[in-house]
Structure 1
Amino acid sequence: MSPRAYKSARISTETRLGRNSRGAREERSSFLILCEGKTEKNYFSGMRSRRGPQIDVDAPKGDHISVVREAISRVSSEYDAVWCVLDTELDETLTEAMQREARRGPVDLGLSTPCFEFWLILHHTDCARPFLSAEEAKRKLREVVPSWSESNTRFSDFADGVDAACRRAQKLSSDSGEPLKNPSTGVWQLVASLRERSEAR
């Protein structure tokens, strides 16, 4: 998915009957998001709303490439888009392999360097300094959100900062778009797309 200008919108949890002016029920957009672990799964599961798009989230067992292959196997007309949200681990060989595999999809990649937790950091603070490892990024996240843990990620802890995170991530990626730029994250593109679909209803 090519970067697009981020349009600010807020996810609504309002109930909407979903009928257009002709009385026909509107179809909800549908996204499948496959990711590595509980942190990502809890975050995106928390974005579900009755007004927004249908979001199916899964964290299949296996390594990065296995997750991408699983996503490819689940591409169907049931979904408007299939995404993998994965960490680069600061590994150029791994990142290139994920990109190569995803092109067989079509599957979109939301890659974060060094890890998804950097995306969460951006909800609370501007951060552009490089990280030496994923663990260092996780320590930084615990500094800004002391209650956070990998198994206890709550979207509500980050909901108010989604607009800021998208702006900050887009600014970081605007220089080169390189997934291995440290730090950087392409997750903003997926989130912006989800919010666009929510706003359009």
Structure 2
Amino acid sequence: MSPQTSKSTKISTETSLKGGKKGFKKERSTFLILCEGKTEKDYFAGMRSRRGPQIDVDVPKGDHLAKVREAVDRASNDYDTVWCVLDTELDGRLTAEMTREAEKSSRVRLGLSTPCFELWLILHHADWARPFQSADAAKKELKKIKPSWSEKNTRFSDFSAGVDAACDRAKKLNPDGGNSLKNPSTSVWELVTGIRESGPSAAKSKILDT
């Protein structure tokens, strides 16, 4: 998927200290997600909610490695976690280089899909395990399954009902998560699970040290 320049998409959220018993604080997780293209950006922007975690989504300029390096540069106390959602392109050397770059910061995580992010979308609607010869082949299959989908028109609402199924199917494809190049496979479920577990239904009160 070709990199695209995009302004950061943000949800404005603040930690609330109002209400509740003294000594308790409602905390919201913060995510920065750097994506490869518009499809990924639109999907994650659609996961934002007023009461959910803070989600900032961006599509930086440059190739895969440039995006990971930017993630390392932008990792700071402003975000709990910075994710790069990228395709492996079935390229072992590229995947190894991305992994080495990400390891330079403990706050940076990779959400890698083989061959591409469209596999993650397919898993919302189908239990898919057959290898793809290319990213284009995965996109064509997604179009068959979801005719209304296009790279310029990805709506989270078209996939939201299948998130649980997609997570379960992704975990089955690569149970130990040790092989990012397994075809097909995706670790995007880890990011999606993290976002959902940070939502209002999973919010937890934390006793502040006094």
Instruction: Tell me the TM-score normalized by structure 1.
Output: 0.88
Instruction: Please give the per-residue CA displacement for 1:171-200, whole angstroms capped at 9, x wherever unaligned.
Output: 111056300000000000000111111132
Instruction: Please give the per-residue CA displacement for 1:44-97, whole angstroms capped at 9, x wherever unaligned.
Output: 000001121000000011100000001111111110111000000000000000
Q: Name the structure 2 match of 1:117.
A: 118
Determine the C-alpha separation between the residues in 1 that align with 2:198 and 2:75.
19
Q: Alpha carbon RMSD of aligned pairs, Å?
A: 1.6
Q: Name the structure 2 match of 1:71.
A: 71
Determine the C-alpha separation between the residues in 2 that align with 1:130 and 1:72.
31
Determine the C-alpha separation between the residues in 1 that align with 2:148 and 2:170.
23
Size of the aligned set, in residue pairs, is: 185
Q: Give the secondary structure class of the aligned counterpart of 1:147.
A: coil
Q: Which moved more, 1:100-109 or 1:37-46?
A: 100-109
Determine the C-alpha separation between the residues in 2 that align with 1:165 and 1:176.
15
Q: Give the secondary structure class of the aligned counterpart of 1:151.
A: coil
Q: Name the structure 1 match of 2:20.
A: 21
Q: Name the structure 2 match of 1:180.
A: 181
Q: Name the structure 2 match of 1:90.
A: 90
Q: Name the structure 1 match of 2:202.
A: 200
Q: Name the structure 2 match of 1:57.
A: 57
Q: Name the structure 1 match of 2:143.
A: 142
Q: Name the structure 2 match of 1:160.
A: 161
Q: Give the secondary structure class of the aligned counterpart of 1:86.
A: strand
Instruction: Please give the per-residue CA displacement for 1:133-162, whole angstroms capped at 9, x wherever unaligned.
Output: 000000000011101011110000000000
Q: Give the secondary structure class of the aligned counterpart of 2:198.
A: helix
Determine the C-alpha separation between the residues in 2 that align with 1:40 and 1:136.
18
Amino acid at match of 2:144: E
- Does the 8 Å CA contact 1:113/1:183 hold for their aligned counterparts? yes
Percent same amino acid at aligned positions? 65
Q: Which moved more, 1:110-119 or 1:17-26?
A: 17-26
Amino acid at match of 1:200: A
2:152 is the alignment partner of 1:151: yes
2:129 is the alignment partner of 1:132: no
Determine the C-alpha separation between the residues in 2 that align with 1:64 and 1:148.
24
1:25 is displaced (CA, Å) by 6.2
Q: Name the structure 2 match of 1:4.
A: none
- Does the 8 Å CA contact 1:20/1:26 hold for their aligned counterparts? no
Larger Rg computed on CA atoms: 2
Q: Give the secondary structure class of the aligned counterpart of 1:56.
A: strand
Q: 1:182 to 1:20 in 2, by over 3 A?
A: farther
Q: Give the secondary structure class of the aligned counterpart of 2:180.
A: coil
- Does the 8 Å CA contact 2:177/2:187 hold for their aligned counterparts? no
Contiguous gaps of at least 5 residues in structure 2: 1-15, 204-210
Q: Give the secondary structure class of the aligned counterpart of 2:62.
A: coil
